[in-house]
Amino acid sequence: PGVGERLAEFPVEPKMAKCLLDSLEQGCAEEMVAIAAMLSVKQVWVPGRGSRANYEKADAAVAEFAVNEGDHITYLNVLRSYEDEGVGNPEWCRENFLNYRSLQRASEVQRQIAAYLIRIQRSDALKASAGGRIDSSQTTLTSCGDDTDTLRRCLISGFFANAARLG
């Protein structure tokens, strides 16, 4: 199938689907899947309530995850931290002003999108081998680790229309 047909098959908006497809080539599929999952949920942060001190604690919690590279990478940091510390731990989420149910949902969506990308990866490998032998048991996605430049290039491939030039 062509690119347009593949984009239409994805359970995410076309811009994100383009990022996900490109992530297979750019070597950052694992991170892009996490970002797509986080963007699919509502209300990741729980606002501080009551006293001014609670609002300040909430702001400090957000700042712990925030990075200069932007909100997408911040969401990636949140999901990674949740996977390391918060799975099955609603108290950790409360302490970090994170919505536990939203993060549970994001993890579920992440698994679904990853499974879909792995199927595409296998299909592409079969076509590329032209009948030869390939390892069709591949069950992992590539990761760029902490290489946010590659990840941001991949994001731009899908969201290029949202970019603006300053100056």
pLDDT band at 3 (very low <50, low <70, confident <90, very high): confident
Q: 8 or 142, which is more confident? A: 142
pLDDT tens, residue by residue, 76-94: 999 999 999 978 899 999 9
CA dihedral 10, 12, 16, 19 (to 10 degrees): -30
Give CA 28 to chain center in angstroms.
10
SS3 of 7-52:
HHHCCCCHHHHHHHHHHHHHCCHHHHHHHHHHHCCCCCECCCCCCH
| The pLDDT of residue 122 | 84
The arithmetic mean of pLDDT across residues 136-154, rounded, is 86
pLDDT band, residue 49 (cuts 50/70/90): confident
Angstrom distance (rounded) from CA 47 to CA 154: 31
Q: How confident is the model at residue 30 (pLDDT cuts 50, 70, 90)?
A: very high
